[in-house]
């Protein structure tokens, strides 16, 4: 394990400083970012079926009139990408992905 990413964080990530410090101390690796909870409309890929599962059919009903399902999905992924870029230490993440981080 080279780093941690806290995902789906409710609240202000700036208030997570002590939690971040504790995680880094216990795990011995850096926290690379704190991703906030996002209200994205993306198909649930690995969720158990149930009333709250966002299926492809359920998503189709959320697409604004005049927009294709593909454009809607692309816009949702753009929102996710923008938030990840803001929330993650992308330089440290790239160093890990390139095998340069110890």
Would you say residue 61 has pLDDT above 90? no
What pLDDT shows up at residue 49?
Answer: 60
User: 58 pLDDT band (50/70/90 cuts)?
Assistant: confident
- Across the range 75-88, mean pLDDT stands at 94
Whole-number Å distance between alpha carbons of 80 and 74: 10
The string of pLDDT tens digits covering residues 10-50 is 988 888 999 999 999 999 999 999 999 998 887 766 655 66
Q: In sequence order, which residues have a C-beta less than 8 Å from that of residue 3 and are 6 or more positions away?
A: 29, 30, 31, 32, 92, 93, 96, 101
What pLDDT shows up at residue 100?
Answer: 65
Is-contact 13 36, C-beta < 8 A? yes
DSSP, collapsed to helix, strand or coil, labels residue 69 as helix
Element (H, E) at 60: helix 56-60
């Amino acid at each position: 394990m080279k780093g941690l990413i806290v995902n789906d964080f409710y609240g202000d990530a700036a208030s997570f400083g002590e939690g971040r410090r504790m995680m880094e101390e216990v795990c011995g690796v850096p926290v690379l970012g704190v991703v906030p909870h996002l209200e994205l409309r993306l198909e649930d890929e690995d969720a158990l079926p149930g009333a709250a599962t966002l299926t492809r059919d359920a998503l189709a009903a959320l697409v604004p009139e005049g927009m294709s399902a593909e454009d809607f999905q692309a816009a949702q992924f753009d929102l996710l990408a923008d938030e990840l870029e803001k929330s993650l230490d992308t330089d440290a993440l790239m160093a890990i992905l390139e095998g340069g981080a110890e």
